[in-house]
Amino acid sequence: MDKAKTRTTARHIGDNIDLPPAEEALEELSHLEATISNEELAQVLSAGVAFHHADLTIEERLLVERHFRKGNIRILVSTTTLAMGVNLPTRNVFIELRKWHSQPGEVRPSLIDLTKADFENMGGRAGRFQLEDEFGRAIAIVNRKVERDQFRHKYLDGELEGIITRLTSKFA
């Protein structure tokens, strides 16, 4: 999921689910410097939802993470890159099965399938040991039966891909 899609997805969820506002987060956000993300973040926080991506200021990111940990923010939408590294307590992780990828020398990134390792890394964020008391769920979103079957074959029944080091490939 890219940065723009995290914003639109958080807004869509906020518009369609009835959750209490993240009032403490909204109050704290009102004291931060105005940014491009500030107004849109306030809009989704008023619906108990937030987005998290690299264009947020460090203060905005820390605010979102802190209030998600406290339970004031009930749903957090993040980019794929952040979803692989964010260490926040959550029970359910919804995973989009494609990610943006750039090859050296390419002008534009392209969408590629997640690797099984990517999927397991993101899915492992749900029900994290010592962060959540309950088991977690990794939920993949597919639109058709054939996608479901491909998902099962690759991510549930398939083998982990081999690891390719980026360091040595630059010197080969």
Is it the case that residue 141 has pLDDT exceeding 70?
A: yes
> What's the residue count for the chain?
172
Residue 168: band (very low, low, confident or very high) from pLDDT cuts 50, 70, 90:
low
| Domain range list for the chain | 1-87, 89-166
Q: Average of pLDDT values for 51-57?
A: 90
Over residues 64-122, the pLDDT tens digits come to 999 998 989 999 888 876 656 666 777 777 777 777 777 778 788 888 888 888 888 77
For the domain made up of 1-87, the CATH class stated in words is: alpha beta
Residues 6+ apart with CB under 8 A from 64: 25, 41, 50, 51, 52, 56, 73, 76
Burial classification of residue 122, based on how many CB atoms lie within 10 Å of its CB (0-12 exposed, 13-18 middle, 19 or more buried)? buried
What radius of gyration, in Å, describes the C-alpha atoms of the chain?
18
Could you tell me what percent of the chain has a pLDDT over 70?
84
More confident residue, 131 or 154: 154
